[in-house]
Amino acid sequence: MLKQPKILVAMGSQSDWPTMEHCAGLLQEFSVAHETHIISAHRTPDRVDAICRRLNDGEFSLAIAGAGGAAHLAGAVAARTTAPVIGVPIAGLLQGFDSLLSTVQMPSGIPVATVSVGAAGAKNAALLAISIAAVGNADLRQKLADYRARLAQQVPLTPQSLVNAA
């Protein structure tokens, strides 16, 4: 793992950005360096090769890849590197069930750590990437603990009525 982690955030299309910006936003919030790139496994395979060369040259600690439909981007990246790869299934025509199965069902030997569909998955991909980068990084571990403490504070003790909220 790089001393100062840098995360590759890849996605298959501009149309994936409204989901993947949740991932980039959290990395920003944690002040974790990252780059965002559109690299399509089927439309721009040369870009996939080029960015994976940078990954294998050690420019990035690990990769997050979001894609929809027949979502093979995360698997295509994982095929080219031994760095950890986190896959984010993007919701599309089939509400993301297609991309979920395409991303999670990697055959034995080439792992993709797949998170949930959509914005929740994009956020969790960032948090998982930070957790991996936090091995041996006390500062990042503290930031993760602080984040969870803030989450806990946001949970009300009892249900709040919405009836008179308007």
**Which residues would be at the binding site for ligand RP5 (CB under 6 A)?**
12-13, 15-16, 40, 67-69, 90, 92
Closer by beta carbon to ligand RP5, 13 or else 61: 13
Give the burial class of 69: count Cβ atoms within 10 A of its Cβ; 0-12 exposed, 13-18 middle, 19 or more buried. Answer: middle
State the Cα–Cα distance between residues 36 and 24, nearest whole angstrom. 8
Closer by beta carbon to ligand RP5, 60 or else 98: 98
Closer by beta carbon to ligand RP5, 5 or else 68: 68
Closer by beta carbon to ligand RP5, 66 or else 84: 66
Q: At what angle do helices 17-29 and 118-133 cross, to 10 degrees?
A: 30
String of b and e for 5-34 (b: at least 16 CB within 10 Å)?
Answer: bbbbbbbbbeebeebbbbbbebbeebebeb
Closer by beta carbon to ligand RP5, 67 or else 100: 67
**Nearest distance from C-beta of residue 86 to ligand RP5, angstroms:** 15
**Nearest distance from C-beta of residue 16 to ligand RP5, angstroms:** 5
CB 74 within 8 A of CB 16: no
At CB < 8 A and 24+ separation, what contacts does 135-141 make? 135/1, 136/1, 137/1, 137/5, 140/5, 140/30, 140/32
